[in-house]
Amino acid sequence: MVEVRAQGDTSAARLLVNLKSSLTPRAVEERLAPTMALLLRVYPGTTPVLMTPWLSPSARSALRRHGIGYLDLTGNVSLEVSHPAIVIRTDGATRPPRGPAPERTRTTLAGAKASRLVRILADVRPPYRALDLSHHTGLSLPYVSRLLDVLTDQLLVRRKGRDITDVDWPELLRARAAHDVLLRRGEHVGTLAANGVPFTLGRLRDQARSDDVALTGSYAARRIAPVSAGGQLMLWVGPGRDIDELAEHLGLLEVSENADVILLRPPDPVVLDRSAVNGDGLRQVALSQLVLDCLSGPGRMPAEGEAVLEYMAAHEDEWRARSIAKRKPLP
């Protein structure tokens, strides 16, 4: 118990502080919130506060939902006291700080394998089981099971027995993007559209039937949910295409700075999975991939990713498959 008193004031606020080394949203819902509710009956008039090294955005949201204040060592703080009047809300790190490597590395949302699982969880409605996900993603069943355990702790998926019954796909995409940086993911080449970006787009339309080059980033997001003008043209280029030949065909010159077209090599085939030709005659990545790219991208791209998420939530029936049975397994 900690007392906070304003200078010259005889009354004090009492903070019921709980220290944790780590905390998941599931632990908030199943253990911390019921415990704090019980303690508040024993100590009425107190304000519950959790302190921990780092809290994920979803854990912070769960704490606020239950009226529990928090403070982590990266600067994420939420504290509201009626008397003396205290209102503090600051944002710290959205990603866990790097520390010494643990003896046994826990499965996380980082890496290309995680992208495979995240994409299918977002793109296909439940119900399904870990075995179904393993088959359709080409990932090992033990890996899928471990990552599903992590996602369950984060309340990103919910299960009933062996069946996955619900996926919080917007938060899942945000969580995956928080473990990534678009322009650090694999090889990319900065280029300048010598004849202008409209010329390059025209050349792209000519080969839209080819599924190994797909639009992503600001240009793709703008057609779905316009937020701002400008931005770089970004293209994923499959491993079977020669980047130099493609650049020549599109009228692109490689540059070391001030690029207006970025050519990216996908770290995994899932990046180009479910790409399709849009209404402008251009092939672009699937919406879930577009969100991952934008949220992990530079400049205005995260805001554009959020706008696409809003569109997806309003049009879920248009893009989300109803059954995993018709899903083609990844190579």
Burial class (CB in 10 A: 0-12, 13-18, 19+), 230: exposed
Tell me the pLDDT tens digit for each residue of 257-287: 999 999 999 999 999 999 999 988 999 999 9
Q: What is the pLDDT of residue 272?
A: 96
Tell me the pLDDT tens digit for each residue of 130-174: 999 999 999 999 999 999 999 999 999 999 999 999 999 999 999
Query: Are the CB atoms for 145 and 152 separated by under 8 Å?
Result: no
Name the pLDDT band for 49 (thresholds 50, 70, 90): very high
Burial class (CB in 10 A: 0-12, 13-18, 19+), 271: buried
Q: What is the pLDDT of residue 102?
A: 47
Q: What is the pLDDT of residue 104?
A: 47
Instruction: Tell me the pLDDT of the chain averaged across its residues.
Output: 91
Q: Examine residue 9 and state whether it is found in any structural domain, yes or no.
A: yes
The number of distinct structural domains making up the chain is 2
Q: What is the pLDDT of residue 42?
A: 87
Mean pLDDT of the region 243-249: 94
Q: What is the pLDDT of residue 103?
A: 42
Q: What is the pLDDT of residue 226?
A: 87
Distance CA 264, CA 274 (A): 17
- Strands of the sheet containing 252-254, edge to edge, are 252-254, 188-193, 261-264, 233-237, 213-216, 283-284, 276-277
Q: Examine residue 158 and state whether it is found in any structural domain, yes or no.
A: no
Same domain, 188 and 298: yes
Q: What is the pTM of this model?
A: 0.80
Q: Examine residue 128 and state whether it is found in any structural domain, yes or no.
A: no
Q: Taking Cα atoms as reference points, which of 251, 325, 319 lies closest to residue 291?
A: 319
Q: Which domain holds residue 34?
A: 2-90
Burial class (CB in 10 A: 0-12, 13-18, 19+), 146: middle
Query: What is the DSSP code (8-state) at residue 31?
Result: I
Task: Among 37, 70, 90, give the residue marking a domain's end.
Answer: 90
Task: Among 90, 108, 125, give the residue marking a domain's end.
Answer: 90
Q: How many CB atoms lie within 10 A of CB 110?
A: 13
H/E element holding 39?
helix 33-42
Name the pLDDT band for 317 (thresholds 50, 70, 90): very high
Q: Examine residue 106 and state whether it is found in any structural domain, yes or no.
A: no
Measured CA to CA in angstroms, residue 250 lies from 152, 199, 245 at distances of 45, 8, 9
Same domain, 186 and 310: yes
Q: Taking Cα atoms as reference points, which of 113, 130, 123 lies closest to residue 179?
A: 113
**Which residue is listed with tokens 């970025």?**
262
Domain harbouring 19, CATH code: 3.40.1350
Q: What is the pLDDT of residue 217?
A: 95
Q: Examine residue 279 and state whether it is found in any structural domain, yes or no.
A: yes
Q: Examine residue 115 and state whether it is found in any structural domain, yes or no.
A: no
Residue 139 tokens read as 């990932």
Task: Among 90, 109, 137, give the residue marking a domain's end.
Answer: 90
Q: Examine residue 175 and state whether it is found in any structural domain, yes or no.
A: no
Same domain, 66 and 187: no
Q: What is the pLDDT of residue 174?
A: 95
Q: What is the pLDDT of residue 199?
A: 95
Q: Examine residue 62 and state whether it is found in any structural domain, yes or no.
A: yes
Name the pLDDT band for 100 (thresholds 50, 70, 90): low
Q: Which residues pair with 190 in a beta bridge?
A: 262
